[in-house]
């Protein structure tokens, strides 16, 4: 299975890929409207807000969790 390099989301179907383009290695949630990949800060906030919405945790806690998750993702390794 292929995962998004920016957030780790599984890319199972064509619509999961940025702009539906299966040659891109990031997901629709990590893409800007023009199809380019969002910045680290944009993805971080998106992940944190998703955790707040779906898990009901505080934003600061969600941000810290997202930072830890993103450390292991290919897009953000330095």
Give the bridge partners for 2, in sequence order: 11
Helices (H) and strands (E) in the chain, counts: 2, 2
Burial readout 58-68 (b: 16 or more C-beta within 10 A, e: otherwise): eeeebbeebee
Quickly state the pLDDT bin for 77 (edges 50, 70, 90): confident
Model confidence over 1-27: pLDDT tens digits?
899 999 999 999 999 999 999 999 999
Residue 39 scores a pLDDT above 80: yes
Give me the number of domains the chain comprises. 1
The answer to whether 6 and 26 are in contact (CB under 8 A) is: yes
* Cα dihedral 49, 54, 59, 60 in deg (nearest 10): -110
Range of the domain at 27: 2-76
pTM of the predicted model as reported, rounded to 2 decimal places:
0.91
């Amino acid at each position: 299975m292929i995962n998004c390099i920016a957030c780790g989301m599984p890319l199972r179907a064509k619509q999961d890929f940025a702009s539906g383009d299966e040659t891109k290695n990031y997901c629709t949630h990590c893409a800007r409207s023009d199809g380019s990949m969002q910045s680290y800060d944009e993805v971080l906030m998106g992940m944190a807000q998703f955790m707040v919405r779906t898990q009901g945790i505080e934003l600061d806690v969600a941000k810290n969790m997202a930072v830890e998750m993103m450390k292991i993702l290919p897009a953000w390794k330095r």
